[in-house]
Chain A
Amino acid sequence: KAGVTQTPRYLIKTRGQQVTLSCSPISGHRSVSWYQQTPGQGLQFLFEYFSETQRNKGNFPGRFSGRQFSNSRSEMNVSTLELGDSALYLCASSLGDREEQFFGPGTRLTVL
């Protein structure tokens, strides 16, 4: 059974640009969550989508947005990039509530 896949794996952008990251969940999983991981803050929740609807949102500015498609694939977008957005962005999928989340390998974003 294929795991969670994320593309691209590495990305270098400059301040002010925007970026789109993609996540394909495990087949059959309908919930997709996104996290930002930095050395200082650890794993911080961005948002969660379930059946194309945003169910939860973390405490991040409106520059961070996401969506989920009918096949459960998800994308997140960051506009007007800042240096502080440099991080590992992780996607996780699960069958539903109270179920363990399975993580992808992450996208390493570097903002110069």
Chain B
Amino acid sequence: EDQVTQSPEALRLQEGESSSLNCSYTVSGLRGLFWYRQDPGKGPEFLFTLYSAGEEKEKERLKATLTKKESFLHITAPKPEDSATYLCAVQAGGNTPLVFGKGTRLSVIA
């Protein structure tokens, strides 16, 4: 069974304090790994797709990396507006649905 585990469940950072969120996965034949950001009461907002180990994607203060067992979302010099829940999802081979982790709730304090 495909599984996604995100850690930590919650993370509190001071503004400017860089850190990383972890997404560990077990899947039979990874087709893609997806990162989303979700603000309270809203739908998830797409951030990145990673397809193969060694791949990296960047967007503003965020950088996502992928290995064969896990993905990291690095946040450099975060700002309060980066506060949100970050969700990781994987898709196995074939027309299989996304499997989501439970997310990391990030709070950035000014």
Contacts and interface: CB of A to CB of B under 8 A. Distances in A.
Contacts of B102: 42
A42 B98 contact: no
Nearest to A103: B43
Interface residues of A, number: 24
A86 B41 CA distance: 14
A24 to B, nearest CB: 13
Contacts, number: 51
B98 A45 contact: yes
Interface residues of B, number: 24
Nearest to B35: A100
Interface string A18-34: 00000000000000010
Contact of B97 (A42, A45, A100): A45
Contacts of A90: 43-44
Interface of A: 4, 33, 35, 42-45, 48, 50, 55-56, 58, 90, 92, 97-98, 100-106, 108
Given A35-B100, A55-B95, 9 more contacts: A42-B102, A43-B89, A43-B100, A92-B43, A98-B31, A98-B51, A101-B98, A102-B46, A103-B44
